[in-house]
Amino acid sequence: MRQRGFTLIELLVVIAIVAVLAGMLLPAVNLVRAAARQSVCASQQRQILLAVISYAGEQEGLLPDVDRADHRNWVAATASQIDAGAGWWYGWSTGTDRALRKLYLCPDGTKQTMFSINYMYHKRVGLDVAGVPFYSSVALARVRQASEAVLLMDGANVTYASNLGFEYSASYQPNYIDFRHRGRLVAGFVDGHSASLATPWTLPSTALAWQGN
């Protein structure tokens, strides 16, 4: 007896069912992928924060400055803690490990400075760009509430690319802070943990955490 095959209509019905199921699953898959990218971002920030703490341990407790005339800005300071051969001065030096370069690029970042990073550092943690300090260096031990003091966050300055820092002001949002994770951003705190935030500059505890430094 000859076996009966599928008719064209039956095949079309099966294809339609598969298409509907795929359409239902795709948003869930995209959410999982987005969550994975956010998790990678948080992990990268924690690695950078560990480098910050390591740097402070070698510099009499002082946190890396956001920018310095002697090239020891926060990117160079933390990168050298991870890889002694790394070099950065508004761009990575030749030979810097590719994996290290990726550490300073959030996988969800659509904005990026011209210098291959898209994280921002607290602008008032030391700024000395021409031998004249605008903001004094901050000692780790003097941060009053390290678990509430944001030091690092998703961001990219697209108007003044040589500025590597953010401030707690809504006026800085468009050009300095990037809510790249489904309307939220990942922020790293002085104590080394990271968290997902919506409006970091309006949190009273965040501002108070830095008082008295």
Q: What is the pLDDT of residue 208?
A: 46
- 155 SS3 class: coil
Query: pTM value?
Result: 0.79
Tell me the C-alpha to C-alpha distance, in Å, between residue 120 and each of 15, 17, 130, 187.
Answer: 48, 47, 20, 9
d(CA 26, CA 14): 18
Of all residues in the chain, what percent carry a pLDDT higher than 70? 78
| 139-167 per-position pLDDT tens digit | 888 888 888 888 898 887 666 655 677 76
Q: How large is the average pLDDT for residues 57-86?
A: 86
Whole-angstrom Cα distance, residue 146 to residue 126?
Answer: 17
Residues 6+ apart with CB under 8 A from 87: 76, 79, 80, 93, 96
Q: State the pLDDT at residue 39.
A: 92
**Mean pLDDT of the region 116-132:** 79
pLDDT for 186: 92
Give residue limits of the domains in the chain.
8-208
**What would the pLDDT profile of 84-108 be if each residue is shown by its tens digit?**
888 887 778 877 888 888 899 999 8
Kindly state the percentage of the chain with pLDDT values over 90: 16
pLDDT at 40: 94
pLDDT for res 205: 43
Both tokens assigned to 15: 């294809």
In 3D space, the residue among 101, 93, 108, 114 whose CA is nearest the CA of residue 159 turns out to be 114
